Amino acid sequence: MKQVLTPLAACIAATVALAGCAGSGMSSSSAASAPGTSGSGSARATATLQPKSGTNTGGTVNFQQQPGGVMMTAAISGLPPNSVHGFHVHEKGDCSAPDAMSAGGHFNPTGKPHGQMTMPDHHAGDMNNVTADANGNVRVSMLLPDLTVGTGANGVIGRAVVVHKDPDDYKTQPTGNAGGRIACGVVAAS
Ligand code: CU
Ligand code: ZN
């Protein structure tokens, strides 16, 4: 506030040209807002996927806050060639069980039915299926409109990311019938 008030006070006292006062006022207000903008725009979180249910599937999932939601970028390896897998944010940040059932159900803070991200009804944690290439690797990014990088009601920190054995059909309730859980990682701030 001092940076904004001081130039205005100086203008009134000195009775300088109005154009000069407007110019100095604008420059000091934009300078004052810059630190806050860069601080909130840099929120990031990461999950390291650990193999579950006897597989060798692993990887890294990054989340970055953006104006329209959270940009999720995943790198997954150890999948069967050209296979398709359900992929969700689950409610509990607990991957301790060998079958990852400790992660609970899909993250669903607003009590919606399960569905695809592009449908009106879907869990906040519903993401599109991921498809492995001929070497069993996935590299994919998706913008997730219903999540935030934080610990609030829609926050992804403290949740878990799960890779499933089978594709999500985007309609079976409440799981998408995606089969067992073959990798799991707890989301932590990064
Ligand atoms: Cu899942
Ligand atoms: Zn779901």
For the segment 19-46, what is each residue's pLDDT rounded down to a tens digit?
Answer: 333 333 333 333 333 333 334 457 999 9
Asked if residue 147 lies in contact with residue 169, where contact means CB atoms within 8 angstroms, the answer is no
Residue 4 and residue 97 in one domain: no
Residue 162 and residue 104 in one domain: yes
Whether 44 is a known active-site residue: answer no
Residue 83 and residue 145 in one domain: yes
Residue 72 and residue 139 in one domain: yes
Residue 24 and residue 51 in one domain: no
Phi-psi category of residue 176: left, alpha or beta, with phi > 0 → left and psi -120 to 50 → alpha: left
CATH value at residue 106: 2.60.40.200
Whether 106 is a known active-site residue: answer yes
> In sequence order, which residues have a C-beta less than 8 Å from that of residue 174 and are 6 or more positions away?
105, 106, 108, 113, 114, 123
Whether 159 is a known active-site residue: answer no
> pTM of this prediction?
0.79
Residue 73 and residue 107 in one domain: yes
The answer to the question of residue 37 being in a domain is no
The answer to the question of residue 144 being in a domain is yes
> In sequence order, which residues have a C-beta less than 8 Å from that of residue 121 and are 6 or more positions away?
112, 113, 115
Q: Which helix (H) or strand (E) holds 49?
A: strand 44-51
Residue 25 and residue 85 in one domain: no
Residue 138 and residue 162 in one domain: yes
The answer to the question of residue 39 being in a domain is no
Pairing of strands 44-51, 58-66: antiparallel
**93-113 mean pLDDT:** 98
Whether 164 is a known active-site residue: answer yes
C-alpha 86 – ligand 1 centre gap (Å) = 6
C-alpha 106 – ligand 2 centre gap (Å) = 5
Asked if residue 107 lies in contact with residue 91, where contact means CB atoms within 8 angstroms, the answer is yes
C-alpha 108 – ligand 2 centre gap (Å) = 7
Nearest to 147 by CA among 179, 176, 108, 114: 108
Sign of the CA dihedral 146, 117, 90, 123?
positive
Residue 2 and residue 50 in one domain: no
What is the tens place of the pLDDT at every residue in 142-184?
A: 999 999 999 999 999 999 999 999 999 999 999 999 999 999 9
Distance CA(89)–CA(160), nearest Å, equals: 6
Domain count for the chain: 2
Residue 14 and residue 90 in one domain: no
Which of the following is catalytic: 85, 159, 164, 168? Answer: 164
C-alpha 103 – ligand 2 centre gap (Å) = 13
Sign of the CA dihedral 104, 106, 111, 114?
negative
With cut-offs at 50, 70 and 90, classify the pLDDT of residue 121. Answer: very high
Distance CA(147)–CA(128), nearest Å, equals: 14
Residue 84 and residue 143 in one domain: yes
C-alpha 126 – ligand 1 centre gap (Å) = 8
Whether 181 is a known active-site residue: answer yes
Residue 91 and residue 127 in one domain: yes
* Ligand closest in space to the Cα of 161: 1
* Ligand closest in space to the Cα of 100: 1
Asked if residue 38 lies in contact with residue 180, where contact means CB atoms within 8 angstroms, the answer is no
The answer to the question of residue 71 being in a domain is yes
Distance CA(168)–CA(175), nearest Å, equals: 8
Domain coverage including residue 27:
1-32
The answer to the question of residue 38 being in a domain is no
Counting every residue written for the chain, the total comes to 190
The answer to the question of residue 161 being in a domain is yes
Whether 168 is a known active-site residue: answer no
